[in-house]
Amino acid sequence: MRNNKVQQKYDAFVDYFSQHLPVAETELKYKDPYQLLVAVILSAQCTDKRVNMTTPALFQRFPTAKDMAESTVEEIYTYIKSISYPNNKAKNLLGMAQTLVRDFNGVVPNNLEDLQKLPGVGRKTANVMMAVAFDQPAMPVDTHVFRVSNRIGLTKNSKTVLETEKTLVAHLPQHVIAKAHHWLILHGRYVCMARKPKCTECGITGICDFYQKKQKKEQ
């Protein structure tokens, strides 16, 4: 049975962001599922801004998975060397492209199981693809989602990324799950930052556990 207070918090969260951020999308620039997959692999522990500076030349050289599959780790590296962990990501991109061509006819699969068969694609990346490329009710949990959902109190008992994902999916209306992922990321990126959250600029302090505790301490 669901906790009514917890569900009320979720309802207030959805109401606020539905009104104040009705359009919430990834900040990664892409044109098709293949480009998005490449960008998401590159974005691990790297800013979207840096990825968006890197991908135009990469996509021009490798417009399809087949083009990338026929390349080498060394060549791919030259295009992504300004990204964090370029050696490892170059290996993953080549392996991903070769697996796509060999096993999926060059087409990015649209299910979680097959996506996770691709080198460099874990559950979070697969969930990003499901939510963003295929508009499915998936909840990718990155550091922002994990931190912000815990701070607000949406997932205060969740100790792991998977627990967080399952808790959020269980309480959010299915039609907003994918969008809520972006709400949490964007809120974490621009308002609820890790070190210095901008509580004075936040519109959901009324439902935020972190803010309520902070207020009590200051009284």
Q: Which residues are catalytic?
A: 124, 142
Other residues' Cβ atoms within 10 Å of the Cβ of residue 7: 11
Q: Which two tokens stand for residue 216?
A: 């009590």
For residues 172 and 134, give the distance between their C-alpha atoms in angstroms, rounded to a whole number.
Answer: 19
Q: Which two tokens stand for residue 3?
A: 């906790």
- Name the nearest CA neighbour of 92 among 69, 123, 61: 69
